[in-house]
Amino acid sequence: MAQILYFSLLVIALCSLSEGIQRRYHYININKTWTEAQRYCREKYTDLATVNNINDMNELKKTVNNKPMYVWIGLKRTDVYKWRWSLGDPVKYLNWETEPSNDTNNCAVMRNGKWHQQKCNDKLGFICYNDSSKSYIINTSNTTWSEAQSFCRQYHTDLISVRNQTDNQLIHNIINDHYTSVWIGLFRDWWEWSDNTDSAFRYWDSVQPDNQGGSEDCIVAKMTHEGKWHDISCSDSYTFVCHEVELILIQKNLSWTEAVRYCRENHVDLVSVDSQEIQLMVTEVLHQAWTAEVWLGLHYYCLMNLWIWVRGEVVCYQNWAPWVQIQLNHCSGEHRAGAVQSGGDHKWISLPRSQELNFICTRNKEN
Ligand SMILES: *[C@@H]1O[C@H](CO)[C@@H](O)[C@H](O)[C@H]1NC(C)=O
Ligand SMILES: *[C@@H]1O[C@H](CO)[C@@H](O)[C@H](O)[C@H]1NC(C)=O
Ligand SMILES: *[C@@H]1O[C@H](CO)[C@@H](O)[C@H](O)[C@H]1NC(C)=O
Ligand SMILES: *[C@@H]1O[C@H](CO)[C@@H](O)[C@H](O)[C@H]1NC(C)=O
Ligand SMILES: *[C@@H]1O[C@H](CO)[C@@H](O)[C@H](O)[C@H]1NC(C)=O
CA of 102 to the centre of ligand 5 (A): 41
Q: Both ends of the chain: CA-CA distance in Å?
A: 46
> By three-state DSSP, how is residue 349 classified?
strand
The predicted pLDDT at position 19 comes to 36
Q: Where are the domains of the chain?
A: 1-244, 246-363
CB 216 within 8 A of CB 209: yes
Which residue's CA is the nearest one to ligand 1's atom 1?
142
Q: Is the CB of 139 under 6 A from ligand 2?
A: yes
Name the pTM for this structure.
0.64
The predicted pLDDT at position 327 comes to 55
The closest of 268, 44, 76 to 189, measured between CA atoms, is 76
CA distance linking residue 47 with residue 86, whole number of Å? 22
The predicted pLDDT at position 177 comes to 64
Under the banding of pLDDT at 50, 70 and 90, the label for residue 104 is: confident
CA of 185 to the centre of ligand 5 (A): 28
Q: Is it the case that residue 315 has pLDDT exceeding 50?
A: yes
pLDDT tens digits for 162-207?
A: 988 999 999 998 887 666 899 999 999 889 999 777 778 889 998 8
> By three-state DSSP, how is residue 105 classified?
coil
Q: Is the CB of 319 under 6 A from ligand 3?
A: no
Percent over 90 (pLDDT), the chain: 50
Q: Is it the case that residue 17 has pLDDT exceeding 50?
A: no
Cis peptide before 209 (omega within 30 of 0): yes
Q: Is the CB of 66 under 6 A from ligand 1?
A: no
Q: Which of 74-83, 87-96, 120-129, 218-227 has the lowest mean pLDDT?
A: 87-96
Q: Which of 132, 137, 152, 154 to mutate to test the pocket of ligand 3 (most atoms within 8 A of CB)?
A: 132
Ligand nearest to the CA of 136: 3
Ligand nearest to the CA of 129: 3
The amino acid sitting at 300 is: Y
Q: Is the CB of 132 under 6 A from ligand 3?
A: yes
CA of 209 to the centre of ligand 2 (A): 27
CA distance linking residue 246 with residue 122, whole number of Å? 38
Under the banding of pLDDT at 50, 70 and 90, the label for residue 14 is: low
CA of 204 to the centre of ligand 1 (A): 28
Highest mean pLDDT among 75-89, 145-159, 200-214, 321-335: 145-159
The closest of 99, 30, 171, 331 to 159, measured between CA atoms, is 171
Helix (H) or strand (E) holding 256: helix 256-266
CA of 258 to the centre of ligand 5 (A): 16
Under the banding of pLDDT at 50, 70 and 90, the label for residue 30 is: very high
Q: Which of 123, 142, 144, 180 to mutate to test the pocket of ligand 1 (most atoms within 8 A of CB)?
A: 142
Mean pLDDT of the chain: 86
Angle at 273 between CA 268 and CA 278, to 5 degrees: 90
The predicted pLDDT at position 72 comes to 98
The predicted pLDDT at position 275 comes to 86
Q: Which of 250, 253, 262 to mutate to test the pocket of ligand 5 (most atoms within 8 A of CB)?
A: 253
Q: Check residues 285 and 245 and name the one with the higher pLDDT.
A: 285
Q: Is it the case that residue 329 has pLDDT exceeding 80?
A: no
- The DSSP output letter for 112 is T
Under the banding of pLDDT at 50, 70 and 90, the label for residue 119 is: very high
The CATH number given to 246-363 is 3.10.100.10
The predicted pLDDT at position 101 comes to 85
Q: What is the mean pLDDT of the segment spanning 286-298?
A: 90
The amino acid sitting at 196 is: N
- Residue 354's region, left for phi above 0, alpha for psi from -120 to 50, else beta, is alpha
Which residue's CA is the nearest one to ligand 5's atom 9?
290
CA of 49 to the centre of ligand 3 (A): 29
Q: What is the mean pLDDT of the segment spanning 40-57?
A: 87
Q: Is it the case that residue 222 has pLDDT exceeding 90?
A: yes
CB 293 within 8 A of CB 357: yes
Ligand 1: atom nearest CA of 141 is 13
Q: Is it the case that residue 3 has pLDDT exceeding 80?
A: no
CATH topology of domain 1-244: Mannose-Binding Protein A; Chain A (3.10.100)
CA distance linking residue 85 with residue 115, whole number of Å? 13
- The DSSP line for 318-359 is --B-TT---SS--SSSS-EEEEEESSTT--EEEEETTS-EEE
Ligand nearest to the CA of 160: 4
CA of 363 to the centre of ligand 4 (A): 29
Q: Is it the case that residue 8 has pLDDT exceeding 70?
A: no
Upper half-sphere CA count for residue 74 (Cβ side, 13 Å): 32
Q: Is the CB of 292 under 6 A from ligand 5?
A: no
Under the banding of pLDDT at 50, 70 and 90, the label for residue 358 is: very high
The predicted pLDDT at position 195 comes to 79
The predicted pLDDT at position 365 comes to 47
Q: Is the CB of 253 under 6 A from ligand 5?
A: yes
Ligand nearest to the CA of 142: 1
The predicted pLDDT at position 75 comes to 96
Ligand nearest to the CA of 290: 5
